[in-house]
């Protein structure tokens, strides 16, 4: 069995609901097991997502994380920057496009992928939730 590395991310910005989450140390984290709307409002081919306003969804995700927004670049490649870093505890599962894929929890112990599903800003992506961790999250 492979040991998974746990790390702390002091989150300073968020691109979209499933990431990347930008950490103060330079890491970029892609949340495991979920699919979300792209910032242009589309769904990537072969990826599940939730219809809706991606900027509103991103702000909802920031609230779930416990972040207070400081500024928002609303361009397709923009970020929602936080007023101060938010501590997340993440367990790395691999790499995707120069990002760490991970399960992340808030300081209160809430799983971000699960909370995003509950808030209806993301959906479970079976392909990346092979263990079924997120089945319990569907509303």
CATH number, position 123: 2.40.50.90
Distance from C-alpha of 59 to C-alpha of 16, rounded to nearest angstrom: 9
Question: 135 lies in a domain?
Answer: no
Question: 95 lies in a domain?
Answer: yes
Q: What is the pLDDT of residues 92-115, one digit of tens each?
A: 998 888 889 999 999 999 999 999
What range defines the domain where residue 101 resides? 6-130
Q: What is the pLDDT of residues 30-69, one digit of tens each?
A: 999 999 999 999 988 888 899 899 999 999 999 999 999 9
Q: What percent of the chain has pLDDT over 90?
A: 76
Distance from C-alpha of 61 to C-alpha of 69, rounded to nearest angstrom: 11
Question: 138 lies in a domain?
Answer: no
What mean pLDDT, rounded, does the chain reach? 92
Residue 15 has pLDDT above 60, yes or no: yes
Q: What are the residue ranges of helices labelled H in 1-139?
A: 54-65, 112-118
Q: Which residue has the tokens 């995003």?
A: 116
Which residues are registered as beta bridge partners of 112? Answer: none
Question: 99 lies in a domain?
Answer: yes
Question: 136 lies in a domain?
Answer: no
Which is more confident, 126 or 113?
A: 113
pTM: 0.92
Residue 57, both tokens: 């969804």
| Structural domain total, the chain | 1
């Amino acid at each position: 069995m492979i040991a998974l590395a746990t790390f702390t991310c002091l989150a300073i910005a968020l691109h979209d609901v499933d990431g990347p989450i930008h950490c103060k140390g330079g890491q970029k984290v892609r949340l495991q097991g979920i699919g979300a709307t792209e910032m242009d409002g589309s769904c990537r081919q072969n990826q599940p997502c939730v219809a809706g306003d991606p900027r509103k969804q991103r702000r909802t995700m920031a609230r779930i994380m416990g972040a207070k927004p400081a500024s928002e670049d609303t361009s397709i490649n923009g970020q929602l920057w936080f007023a101060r870093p938010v501590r997340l505890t993440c367990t790395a599962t691999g790499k995707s496009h120069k990002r760490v894929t991970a399960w992340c929890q808030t300081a209160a112990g809430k799983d971000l992928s699960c909370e995003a599903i509950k808030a209806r800003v993301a959906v479970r992506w079976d392909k990346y939730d092979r263990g079924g961790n997120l089945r319990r999250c569907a509303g």
